Structure 1
Amino acid sequence: MDSIIMGVGSIGLALVLTLIGVPVAVALGLIGLGGLYLVGGTILLTSAAETLAYNALNQYSFAVIPTFILMGILANRAQITGDLYEAFYRIMSRVRGSLYLVTVLSSAGFAAISGSTIVSAAVFTKLSLPQMSRFGYDKGIGAGCIAAAGTFASLIPPSIMMVIYALLTGESIGRLFVAGVVPGGLTAIAYLIFILILVRVRPSVAPRVDRVFSAREKLQSLGRIGPFLILSVIVIGGIYSGLMFPSAAGAVGAAGALGIAIWRRVGSPKEIRDALEETAVSSGTIFLVLIGGLLFARFLVYSGFISDLVDVIGESGIAPWQVLVAVILFNLVLGMFIDTVSITVVTVPFLHPIMVELGYDPIWFGILLIKLIEISAISPPIGLNLFAVIASARSVVTSGELFRGVIPFLCVEFVLLALIVMFPTISLWLPNLVYGQ
């Protein structure tokens, strides 16, 4: 019981420190080091401090994080995202609610070449929201649609959150990527169906746009999405065909995005340097959080917290489904107050072994957690995607309008969450088909 009290106390302290503004890497790292000292004294503390960071990050698989981040940044600067949006818009301009639909489709496409939900939300706020405002769309629903569709980058591979989960748990990155395809596609389809129903029930939220594009204009816009198709084939095709590991696919994709930027004359030395600096800052932040999380996880293991907690759950007679419900509620509540990366790094080290011990498939549980992360990213009051939209909108939409507009999409997400829980095959069918049982 001492180990359980110590573990629960350390988790609570980590959450409190994060809530009051202490950087999550600092909070987890200090608690992890302090806990290791209490458990094993100076020897265990110095051993972990000297070796863990190097041994953990000295893995080829970690290269996938900066390469996918760089690919997404370069793809955006090469205007690939704008071309994709324009192509969908020209094709669907006469459909009521077309700007909502185009945002969903473009976000799903962008997710296939970028693993960052925040970048996706920021990009499409600048692309979509001015057009929605211009044509009289409901700004709250529009901003909510942008924020919600931005979360596709968590579930549609390549996903940075999948990589973090895999690195924290030792699960296969490739298997997780494949497992996200069906749930990600299902989410996008559910959004499209919901929007079509919404604009029929409430026509005022999406006035009909009379702008018509000729067949030639539509073909011209389709011709400009060639670079997007090339990148998608390189990255997704390379991973799923087995020709490339995810880390290699990210590097090749980043090189391809750089080549497209130079070809389009938007890859000046300054632009490339800025993209590299942005990648370095983003990657460094994630790596620091991961180091702190690994120190924290090592403390939980050495303290006996995880094994003792599994024993207590087994002896208590609590059914596995009850534990699952508790985990879901726990993550949903945390998501309203703590950013998604922090939630993952704090909770995965102890939740993953417990859920596996209870008989749940670790790949399915990873997809479930990522779905919860999607919901967290658009949960008021501090969902990260909500902040990204507000910051990028520049007073076009208020926080109150955004919170109101995102609620319907949260309802859709809860329905999808229930389906993933009730039907694990949604997540496991494709990876089992590709990799075998």
Structure 2
Amino acid sequence: MTDLTIRLRQAMQPWRTAPAWRIAFSGGLDSSVLLHLLAAWARREELPALSAIHIHHGLQPAADAWPEHCAKLCARLDIPLDIVRVQVAPGASLEQAARRARYAAFAERLGPGEILLGAQHRDDQAETLLFRLLRGAGVRGLAAMPASRPLGRGTLLRPLLGCSRAELHAYAQSHGLAWVEDPSNADERFSRNFLRRQVMPLLAERWPQVTASLARSAGYLGEAQQLLEELAEMDLLAARGVCALPWLPLPSLDLSGVAALSDARQCNLLRHWLAPLSRMPDSGHWAGWYDLRDAAVDATPIWKLADGELRRAEGRLWWLSGDWLKPPQPLGLLNAALTDSVELPGNGRVNLSGELPQGHWHLRYRVGGESLQVPGRGRRDLKRLLNEMRVPPFVRSRLPLLFDGDELMAVANLTQAPGIEASGVRLHWSPPIGDRGLSW
């Protein structure tokens, strides 16, 4: 049993009970070695169901031959292969867009508890650390590639991170493996290729252990990032507080709980809390947070981020995304449409329970100047009522209102007039939930 095989077994041992192992198989050297190692292991022992996924980006003519190459090798090793063609969205970075498309396809195909196996190795880890260091990344970025992380309904695992590219190349040659070469890997206009082909060999001439040293540093930084995440979880527990509107399903934090922390812990907490929801700016672009935090009490500041925005209202921080970033379409539902659950365009759903008495019933949103007969309190201005109930301003224009003719009779989820209170009618609104995070 080779040293490479032993290290792979050690890395995979905690995942032996997974329902399936799926190999991210590009057809290149690294993934070909991983495929071959796992196929040999599966012939000797019972393993989780083994299969491969090849993502075809269609970005260069040479890639059209790769699916056939992958299919032949998988057939020879008796491993099922799923070939997936993806569309790469245009953008400033072709590499990043291709990576997003690739991992979105992987995530979509992973079943509950399944493992996607990536073939990234120690040299990749070292290059990633150096690349991110040159871009000014923080601890999270410098931790480089984690050995495992959640992906879709399963887990992405990189069992070869402790192995060098030279070891994989030697294994491939000794077993007569053939692999595809991506022509774009020779294009030094791409920063990672320049680092791999020009910078790393130069560093290795002076420091022969440079890849091992950089990979080791990435491991230390990974431990530091884990400690920061544990601290953020502790701060998050204290900062969640209690939202006065339990029917509002938006991520939110108690502002005073966040502001009581040091600036460094505030940033650490917000990075941790917002990481699943949005791409975060680098440290030089956090002025928006301090402006939002320090604004006057009666101000309504907004911190716009890549995938949504953070607002401050009623003593809390609120994350808005998706439908919440656009005004809802005009609403004019008449009596005949007010049955059971009704979808509101761009604004969730509304449910009317009970039977309305005879009248000219309809739903609409606020236009200003509305008032409501409140049980035991007489007629009250709706604006004042919403202030008393601490409804955030960004919610008020979305609240479905039930009218009988020109008379406001109910405000969804909050209050209603005595005229329908006795009838048992209830107007419940399920607001939009926004985008529920990044796909990978």
TM-score w.r.t. length of structure 2? 0.24
Q: Which has the higher strand share?
A: 2
Greater relative CO (CA pairs within 8 A, separation 6+): 1
Q: Which has the higher helix share?
A: 1
TM-score w.r.t. length of structure 1? 0.24
